[in-house]
Structure 1
Amino acid sequence: MRIPPLYRHPVWQRFFAGAAVGGCISWLIFLFMFGSIQQKNSALIEKQAMQIRELQGYIKIWQEDYQELNQKNEEMLTIQELEVEIENFERYDITDRQSIFRAEESIKEDLRSLIAKDLTTVYENKEMIKRTVENKTLDINGKQYRLVVKELYFYTTVSLVLEIKLAG
């Protein structure tokens, strides 16, 4: 198979030459347009990357400040309230809820000095709080009862869960 002898016809020569020159020019135009678009996109990406680094720096500063403030606030926590609950009084046939309420209020009154104290100070003295409560004897319906600390929770509210036992 051979190529037809079109090289002898000037019309075909001009057509192929024009197609080759047009292809080269269109390729150069494509490269220019593609390059300018890529340059704009890379500048945009670089600008956004710089903004991301800047904002991450701000986030880091804010997080450090936030953690610092949280730590200061935790150090400044104080006791706001006392909660006392006496359990198992039904075991000793104490049906008088008023007596249990008065006993709980009496213990709250003994521990009233803890209010507005620093949380860490109160926590460090938890053994003294236990001894204060456990050394107290209650007179309910003519019988003597002792208290045993079952649970003791510390936060802005000191919560005591106590068991009642016969003093003997």
Structure 2
Amino acid sequence: MRIPPFYKLPSWQRFFSGMVVGGIVSWMIFIYMFGTMHENQTKLIEEQRNEISKYKNTLSYLQEEYKQLNKKNEDQLTIQEVKIKLINPTKTKVELLSIHETEDRLSGDLRSLINKDLETAYGTRDLIKKIIENKTVELNDKSFTFKVREIYFWTTTQITLELKYEE
């Protein structure tokens, strides 16, 4: 098999040389366009990287400030409500209405705790406990005292009391 002698004809020589020159020119245009596009993408990525690092620094600063504000606010929390819960009513056989009225009365007596900061209220917990335990209540013609079981100090302070016969 033999290659046809097209390389001797000037028209074919121009065609092949045009293909080679066109291939080289198109390759150079491709390399230029790809390089330009790649350079733009690299710039964009670098700008985004800088922006992300700036945002991370801002975020860490804001988070640290947020933690400090939370700590400061937590130190300044105040009591908003005082809830009293009486337990042991079945053993003492006291009416639920009387227990509810007693809880309301005790909540009213401890109203002075409202708007006090938690640290101050927690510091006076022994005094609060003694005030409650020294209180005597008449229910169904019987005298009762209270025994403090639990005191939870938070924005809603909850005090759990046990109802006992006075001795």
The answer to whether TM tops 0.5 is yes
Deviations 1:124-145 (A, max 9, x none): 4434433432333322232121
Aligned partner of 1:45 in structure 2 is 45
Matched, 1:25 2:25: yes
Matches of 2:72 and 2:22, distance apart in 1: 74
How far residue 105 of structure 1 moved from its aligned partner, in angstroms, is 4.2
Deviates further, 156-165 or 143-152: 143-152
- Aligned-residue identity in percent: 44
Matched, 1:13 2:13: yes
Matches of 1:163 and 1:55, distance apart in 2: 55
Aligned partner of 1:145 in structure 2 is 144
How far residue 12 of structure 1 moved from its aligned partner, in angstroms, is 1.8
Matched, 1:58 2:58: yes
Aligned partner of 2:91 in structure 1 is 91
Matches of 1:93 and 1:51, distance apart in 2: 71
How far residue 75 of structure 1 moved from its aligned partner, in angstroms, is 0.8
Matches of 1:42 and 1:19, distance apart in 2: 34
Give the letter aligned to residue 108 of structure 1.
Answer: S
User: TM-score scaled by structure 1?
Assistant: 0.84
CA RMSD, Structure 1 to Structure 2 (Å): 2.2
Greater than 4 Å deviation, 4+ residue runs: none
SS at 2:37's partner residue? helix
For structure 2, list consecutive stretches of 5 or more residues without a partner in the other structure: none
How far residue 101 of structure 1 moved from its aligned partner, in angstroms, is 4.2
For structure 1, list consecutive stretches of 5 or more residues without a partner in the other structure: none
SS at 1:39's partner residue? helix
